[in-house]
Copies of this chain bind each other. A is one copy, B any other.
Amino acid sequence: MIRRLCIFGVGLIGGSLALALRRGGHCREVVGCSRSEQHLARAVERGVIDSYSLDAVEAVRDADMVLLAVPLGAMGPVCTSIRDALPVDAVLTDVGSAKASVVHAVSAAFGVAPSGFVPGHPIAGTEQSGVDAAFPELFQDRRVILTPLETTRKDALDKVRAMWQAAGAVVEEMSVTHHDEVLAATSHLPHLLAFGLVDSLARMGESEEIFRYAAGGFRDFTRIASSDPVMWRDICLANSEAILEVMKHYREDLDGITEAVKHGDGDLLLEIFRRAKAARDRFCH
């Protein structure tokens, strides 16, 4: 049972976790903190949080669990603001989509990463954002990856694991580096490709007409291009190394496909498409 959960950034992720924990009776009190009083007031109105403060120091007071659910670029500033106020025994965790950058930001802000710090990342979300998009089932049966540091206390890790399990998630652990590589491949690269495609088409002549004839496949393919631009800018900046590495492989493969189209190599195209279909049918059933 969490006594007092303090959430920085009460949006889709932070809000959904609060709703899940409150509904299950796993949390006595939730305090929200962000820069927008309007959003925080809305979160109270929706029953997502009990109260809020615009002052980070006041928000973390007496908290036993502090959740950083702000865009990656805001992790450092938030940590700096709570550096001297975070209760000694409080567990600190985050939901950032790239872990090395959060570890760096937290370590820089606190001088050294607090032993109660447990980096985390729920593999869940929609293209929606904001507290109005939050719903308590968001994490049901979804994976949450924790990337504990050597300095992380076991009791802190246990508490964060229990919190996500209480929200219905399946919790796993891996290293910070490995997490960032895997997510670059399965999430960050696809988002870049989708943003890039929509922007590419939008800037073509007659783009209105082009989009008019887009079918269901295009809608699905580009759904992630409706994601929050600030969040994704931050992810690209925070995980650039792993993203560039996987982009390099992808571009080489795309070169191969382009050459096959150019030279009418139907056998190669069929081989690639069959392998891709088999992989997707196998993993995304």
Contacts and interface: CB of A to CB of B under 8 A. Distances in A.
Task: Work out how many copies of this chain go into the complex.
Answer: 2
A258 B272 contact: no
Nearest to A275: B199
5 contacts: A73-B266, A186-B201, A186-B210, A193-B254, A212-B283
Contact of A221 (B213, B224, B243): B224
A189 B204 CA distance: 14
Interface residues of A, number: 89
A276 B225 contact: yes
Interface in A233-264: 233-234, 236-237, 240, 243-244, 247, 249-251, 253-254, 257-258, 260-262, 264
A41 interface: no
A197 B221 CA distance: 12
A143 B222 contact: no
Interface string A116-133: 000000011111000000
B284 A214 contact: yes
A276 to B, nearest CB: 4
Contacts of A222: 190, 280, 284
A182 B221 contact: no
Nearest to A243: B261
A253 B186 contact: no
B195 A273 contact: yes
Given A233-B269, A280-B222, A186 B214 contact: yes
A169 B71 CA distance: 43
Nearest to A224: B217
A191 interface: yes
A257 B195 contact: yes
A82 interface: no
